[in-house]
């Protein structure tokens, strides 16, 4: 997962390098990313990350 100055959050496949998801949740740069380490609760389905959160100056956002 990455975030940048364009305020977008992107999720990449480590194995293939394919972009799985790209979203803009806030108007400030994402600074913290967290996702569930519990097996079966943090996965990618249909290009959407389930069980991931990120934080910015605007608050904490859940990527479902």
Please tell me whether the overall predicted TM-score, pTM, comes out greater than 0.85 for this model.
no
pLDDT in tens, 13-48: 888 999 988 888 788 887 887 776 555 545 555 655
21 touches 2 (CB < 8 A) = no
pLDDT in tens, 39-64: 554 555 565 556 677 788 888 887 75
Residues 6+ positions from 33 with CB-CB distance below 8 Å: 1, 3, 9, 52, 53, 54, 55
């Amino acid at each position: 997962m990455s975030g940048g100055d364009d305020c977008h959050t992107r999720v990449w496949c480590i194995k293939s390098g394919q972009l799985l998801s790209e979203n803009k949740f806030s108007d400030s740069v994402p600074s913290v990313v967290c996702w569930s380490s519990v097996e079966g609760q943090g996965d990618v389905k249909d290009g959407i990350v389930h069980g991931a959160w990120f934080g910015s100056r605007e608050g904490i956002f859940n990527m479902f």
